[in-house]
Structure 1
Amino acid sequence: MDNLIKILDEIIKKIEGKNIEEVSIETEEGKIKVKQYIGPKEIVSENYPKVEVKEVITSETPKVEVQKEEKKYHVIKSPLVGTFYRSPSPGAPPFVEEGDIVSKGQVLCIIEALKVMNEIESDINGKIVKILVENGQPVDYGQELFYIEPK
């Protein structure tokens, strides 16, 4: 087990500050998976390798589709910077799932900021069409969280 911890420390040191988002290693002692949030994939930086730039350029078509969806659906955005949680506690069922009908004032998620749990509520009646953030992921102010089809 000590060997896995040493390997983990080395991996973290090597990927810190790089554009590597996920690393998985499997040994006889166990399996290590390290995920690093490197920001939205649409951001193009001069520091990105050319392979990344090609990937971003080819993703322009889905970006246009998302913009079309925004016109059809009501968007719930993050009112603050923090960590997104789909359920009230670990192991508890999520507040909502895609396809659920929600009412105005119903809690959709929690965003933890400065150790304060902030409940994010729906501001309309409708159907959850898309949940845009994974549980436990960091979110920015104004980041889109949910698409809701108004009813």
Structure 2
Amino acid sequence: MELNLDELRELLSAVSQADISEITLKSGDFELTVRKGPKPGEYVLPQQTSVVEMPAPAIAALPAPTAPAPAAPALSAPPPSSANDKLVEITSPMVGTFYRAPAPDEPPFVDVGDRVRSGQTVCIIEAMKLMNEIEAEVNGEIVELLVQNGQPVEFGQVLMRVNPT
């Protein structure tokens, strides 16, 4: 297995942005392990910080305001839930390029209004020349597509929303 410098940089960038801590590539007598953070079983102790007490600064008496200060808004219950609260977001599990179809000359996997079932492929994310199929996690209807075909996406970026049934 040959790995040029650009491919290695791309691999390191993808690993640093992904939610993985270690990856190992093996091919014949070639082996490469990339690890983020401490080795398994190692513990990193947080640095201790010290608190230094300082005397409070002297504050001069201020004249009373002539107009009453606006009242702070009262804390209230959270806003009522909207219809969007029940939508399920399909997010990108990695950094890569979003594709709606398996090939440029083929129809997209899904469009707004399409019904999907759990496990159905809804798009592809290309990362490091690998095509990763992204599947729906629920049965439902596609109500929003938030990414254009061929657009770069980030880890955790919302790709589409599904109204579950």
TM-score (norm 2): 0.50
Give distance in 2, aligned partners of 1:101 and 1:119.
18
Give distance in 2, aligned partners of 1:112 and 1:69.
32
Task: Give the superposed CA RMSD.
Answer: 1.5
Partner SS state of residue 85, structure 2: helix
Q: Which structure shows the higher helix fraction?
A: 1
Give distance in 1, aligned partners of 2:84 and 2:95.
22
Corresponding residue for 1:31? none
**Share of identical aligned residues, percent?**
55
Partner SS state of residue 71, structure 1: helix
The within-5 A match list for 1:2-151 is 70-151=84-165
1:116 corresponds to which letter in structure 2? L
Shift of 1:69: 5.8
The answer for unaligned runs of 5 or more in structure 2 is: 1-80
92 and 143 in structure 1: CA distance in 2 versus 1, 3 angstrom threshold? same
Partner SS state of residue 105, structure 1: coil
Cα deviations across residues 43-76 of structure 1 (Å, max 9, x unaligned)?
xxxxxxxxxxxxxxxxxxxxxxxx9564130101
Give distance in 1, aligned partners of 2:99 and 2:86.
25
1:105 corresponds to which letter in structure 2? G
Give distance in 2, aligned partners of 1:129 and 1:68.
15
Corresponding residue for 1:37? none
Give distance in 2, aligned partners of 1:68 and 1:103.
24
Shift of 1:91: 1.2
Runs of 4+ in structure 1 off by over 6 angstroms are: none
Higher gyration radius (CA)? 2
Cα deviations across residues 71-105 of structure 1 (Å, max 9, x unaligned)?
13010100000000000001100000000000000
